Amino acid sequence: MTPSTAERPQMSVEDFEELVRKAPQNVELELVHGRLYVKGDRISVEDFEELARRAPKGVHLELIDGKLEVKPVPDQRHRAIVVWLTRLFMQERPDLALYPEQGLRVGAYRKGHACADGALAPFDHFIAQEGDWADPEGVLMVVEVTSHDRDTDRRDRVDKVRGYAEAGIPVYLLVDRDIDALTVYSDPRNGTYQQSPAHPYGSVVELPAPVGVTLDTEKLKDYAD
């Protein structure tokens, strides 16, 4: 990972200017060194949902722990990992689907809004829900693949761990490209995952119930940076 890749800006000036024009009247945005901020450091759920609906094409916003986030655009290796997992779950659990870039209300009071790289749930699970942000009830597992940006440590390894656990999602699978390993968070209790073993690429990884799938991760070595 080169320094220039790690420091890649999250949002272009052009996208920021378009977002400012479309933002709700009482939401003031700032762009500092490529990072998006809302003045006052907090934004209401209602204002966030309106802002997310108006965001430019290709810009995915998240609300993590009350703070506005921009989900990085995935690179080709990131996409390849999600496709590999999708094919695997189609084979191993044909009763389920791995929904890509699924918006979920997370956190203790469902005030967080996370766009998961993948959400494992029964077929047609989300069709009865309206809007871009679904309730996590019935989701068996969420998947995140780290991106090479400066916020990935806090976002994927801290904030989303807490948000998904507080939402009661049984399993959180983190494909960590910085260390070429998978971390399997499971057994959420009192807003915390009780188990979080890490497995290097190439391991045979048992995903616990209710997922119940064995991953042979040798293929992930082909996607290592």
Q: Are residues 39 and 121 in the same domain?
A: no
Q: Are residues 20 and 103 in the same domain?
A: no
Q: Which residue has the higher pLDDT, 34 or 97?
A: 97
- C-alpha dihedral, 68 to 72 to 73 to 78, nearest 10°: -140
Residue 6 has pLDDT above 50, yes or no: no
Summarised one tens digit per residue, pLDDT across range 88-137 is 999 999 999 999 999 999 998 899 999 999 999 999 999 988 889 999 99
**Domain limits at 167?**
76-223
Q: Taking the CA atoms of 65, 182, 83 and 120 in sequence, report the sign of the dihedral they define.
A: negative
What type of residue sits at position 41?
D
Report the percentage of the chain scoring pLDDT > 70.
96
Contact between 1 and 225 (Cβ < 8 Å): yes
Q: Are residues 48 and 100 in the same domain?
A: no
Q: Are residues 115 and 165 in the same domain?
A: yes
Cis amide prior to 197 (ω within 30 degrees):
no
Average pLDDT across the chain, whole number: 92
Q: Are residues 81 and 154 in the same domain?
A: yes
Q: Are residues 18 and 113 in the same domain?
A: no
Residue holding tokens 């916020």? 151
Confidence of residue 61 (pLDDT cuts 50, 70, 90): very high
Residue 189 has pLDDT above 50, yes or no: yes
Q: Are residues 135 and 31 in the same domain?
A: no
Number of domains comprising the chain:
2
Q: Are residues 46 and 96 in the same domain?
A: no
Q: Are residues 51 and 100 in the same domain?
A: no
